[in-house]
Amino acid sequence: MADWHEISGGVTAPRGYRAAGIKAGLKPSGLPDLALILSDVDAIASGVFTTSYVKAACVDYCREQLQKKQVTRAILCNAGQANAATGEQGMRDAIESATLLAKELQISPDLVLIASTGVIGQRIKMDPLRSGIPKLVAALSETGSDNAAGAIITTDLVTKSISLETTIGDRSVRIGGIAKGSGMIHPNMATMLGFVTCDAAVSPHLWQQMLSRAADRSFNSITVDGDTSTNDSLIALANGQSRTPAITEMGAEAEKLESMLTAVCQHLAKAIARDGEGATCLIEVQVTGATDEAAARQVAKTIVSSSLFKSAIFGHDPNWGRIAAAAGRAGVVFDQEQLRIQLGNFLLMDHGQPLPFDKGAASAYLKEIAEPYTAVAAGNGKPQSVNNPVVVKVSLGNGKGTGKAWGCDLSYDYVKINAEYTT
């Protein structure tokens, strides 16, 4: 049983944080497009960023800042323009964005981190941003997380937010997070943004280690379409305002904090996968029996990344052959005579041999899960829980390695959305 419970508040649930989200005029749609998360005091900051060689200016800017020192106060995010592949002027725009916010907050520019999302090749619309920053700062609130979550999304159908609370020593500790992402999502980070706040006191090196491991078990274990983005950023702050003793090395308290951090990241990652462009269902692939955790995750990610498998799930076709084929090409050594595949409660293969099963009932299982998601996409339903996925269980043998990955099906609407993205 988890050592924490869910609370309300998102990134402003932890003590000492405020947030805001406004309409600055960056998006052609006129929807909210500028967000800010602010810690009232200096916070330890850690980050995980895209592995793409084509990176947005905000990614290079944040990496440079965090290499200098792992301390920050603010995260500024614009939506509408990715500011990627925009050359030297794009970097100057990024620096100016941070400088303008720092001046408005009356803090040093090196205490500001930035993020961007939107169309690649488009610079930030600086005039709306310049006029929007004072309004953004004025809108800061201890209950502003939902507004910030709404201002960072692009093609997302819903906002993504979570906050959890536990007890360390005799005091409560909270972690909150918001994220965006719907398309161009693939392991090793993707076109997603994730911002996490925490009120524990943690040493910089340990906080970075915790975040990197949490990212591997969450955001690096999701896929929507196999495309890694130029802008993906996961930034986590820890400001010590819970007044708990500083955690400086691994132990029981550090393990509890990391487990809660991982849970926050996994919730947000699954929400992104669930909200994949055109998706009708969330898929969770659970792999056991591998030699180690990394091998298990690799097989899980390969299966959930398979376009053939994702298409079959969209068509409510329990085609286990596509699962077996993806597992076999994952680059992980296993004995196919030990392969076991289960879809929901339907056992499809055991000891490498196909088994008879009720294909109609298995198809109905897939359709039943898809229906609520389809209603949301059509604007006729409420966001569905990330705890209602299509579940695929794969066993490779007797190894101790286990791992999970999450994704979504591949629908007609995905092609439509991305065929017309800039037109």
pLDDT in tens, 218-240: 998 887 655 567 888 999 999 99
Please report, for the domain that includes residue 63, its CATH number.
3.60.70.12
**Which one is catalytic: 191, 197, 228, 280?**
191
Domain stop point among 274, 302, 334? 274
Domain stop point among 236, 254, 274? 274
pLDDT of residue 62: 97
pLDDT of residue 196: 98
pLDDT of residue 37: 98
- For residue 208, what are the CA distances in angstroms to 66, 163, 168? 10, 20, 20
**Claim to verify: residue 140 and residue 213 sit in the same structural domain:** yes
**Claim to verify: residue 134 and residue 253 sit in the same structural domain:** yes
**Claim to verify: residue 233 and residue 321 sit in the same structural domain:** no
pLDDT of residue 374: 55
Amino acid identity of 289?
Answer: G
**Claim to verify: residue 264 and residue 322 sit in the same structural domain:** no
**Claim to verify: residue 168 and residue 22 sit in the same structural domain:** yes
pLDDT of residue 364: 96
**Claim to verify: residue 78 and residue 115 sit in the same structural domain:** yes
**Claim to verify: residue 78 and residue 216 sit in the same structural domain:** yes
> CA-based angle 82:86:88, to the nearest 5?
130
**Claim to verify: residue 261 and residue 311 sit in the same structural domain:** no
Amino acid identity of 226?
Answer: G
Q: What would the 3-class secondary structure string for the chain be?
A: CCCCEECCCHHHCCCCEEEEEECCCCCCCCCCCEEEEEEEEEEEEEEEECCCCCCEHHHHHHHHHHHHCCEEEEEEEEEEECCECCHHHHHHHHHHHHHHHHHHHCCCHHHEEEEEEEECCCCCCHHHHHHHHHHHHHCCECCCHHHHHHHCCCCCCCCEEEEEEEEECCEEEEEEEEEECCCCCCCCCCCCEEEEEECCCECHHHHHHHHHHHHHCCHHHEECCCCCCCCCEEEEEECCCCCCCCECCCCHHHHHHHHHHHHHHHHHHHHHHHCCCCCCCEEEEEEEEECCHHHHHHHHHHHHHCHHHHHHHHCCCCCHHHHHHHHHCCCCCCCHHHCEEEECCEEEEECCEECCCCHHHHHHHHHHHHHHHHHHHCCCCCCCCCCCCEEEEEECCCEEEEEEEEEECCCHHHHHHHHCCCC
What's the N-to-C CA distance of the chain in angstroms?
49
Q: How far is C-alpha 198 from the geometric centre of its chain's CA atoms?
A: 17
**Claim to verify: residue 39 and residue 67 sit in the same structural domain:** yes
pLDDT of residue 330: 97
pLDDT of residue 313: 95
In the chain, the number of structural domains is: 2
Domain stop point among 274, 302, 320? 274
**Claim to verify: residue 267 and residue 286 sit in the same structural domain:** no
- How much is the mean pLDDT over the chain? 91
- Which mean pLDDT values do the consecutive 10-residue runs of the chain (423 residues) have? 91 98 96 98 96 89 95 97 94 98 98 94 97 98 98 89 95 97 54 91 97 94 70 95 96 97 95 82 96 96 94 96 97 97 98 97 94 58 67 97 94 78 60
- Catalytic annotation present for 191: yes
Residue 326's domain comprises 282-419
pLDDT of residue 130: 98
pLDDT of residue 414: 76
**Claim to verify: residue 59 and residue 163 sit in the same structural domain:** yes
Please report, for the domain that includes residue 359, its CATH number.
3.10.20.340
pLDDT of residue 190: 42
**Claim to verify: residue 212 and residue 314 sit in the same structural domain:** no
